[in-house]
Amino acid sequence: MAIALYMDHHVPRAITVGLRLRGVDVMTAYEDGASEQDDPQLLDRANTLERVLFTQDDDFLAEATRRQKGGIFFRGVIYAYQLRISVGRCIHDLEIIAKAGEAEDLYNQVQFLPL
């Protein structure tokens, strides 16, 4: 089953558009009316929507680590450091994860891009 993605407000629009053009199920925090929420709330929202959160905000790494150490479930975080990956490579790698991955593989995990 395909993995649905939830983009935080730090993700460039070009990545979201590129993924949609490739048939990937993407929702942004802005579209969801959640762009002003803090990191823990955004991760909770992604969980509620059964989506994996994609971010380029390293604060999410701390939140994911806190949840891992505390045994708090989350559906997964995909992280890309914005100065180390191109938009095209980001779209490519996210498409692979979304179409070929299994949602369970990302539970309570942080996946780093590029692959």
Average pLDDT for 83-105: 95
Q: What is the pLDDT of residues 27-39, one digit of tens each?
A: 999 999 998 999 9
- What's the whole-number average pLDDT of the chain? 96
Residue 27 forms beta bridges with which residues?
A: 6
Domain boundaries, the chain: 5-113
Contacts of 63 (CB under 8 A, 6+ apart): 39, 40, 43
Minimal CA–CA distance to 59: which of 8, 22, 13, 6? 8
CB 108 within 8 A of CB 86: no
For 16-34, b where at least 16 C-beta lie within 10 A, e where not — what string?
bebbeeeebebbbbeebeb
List the alpha helices (DSSP H) in the chain.
13-21, 39-48, 59-70, 87-100, 103-106
pTM attached to this predicted model: 0.96
Tell me what pLDDT residue 93 has: 98
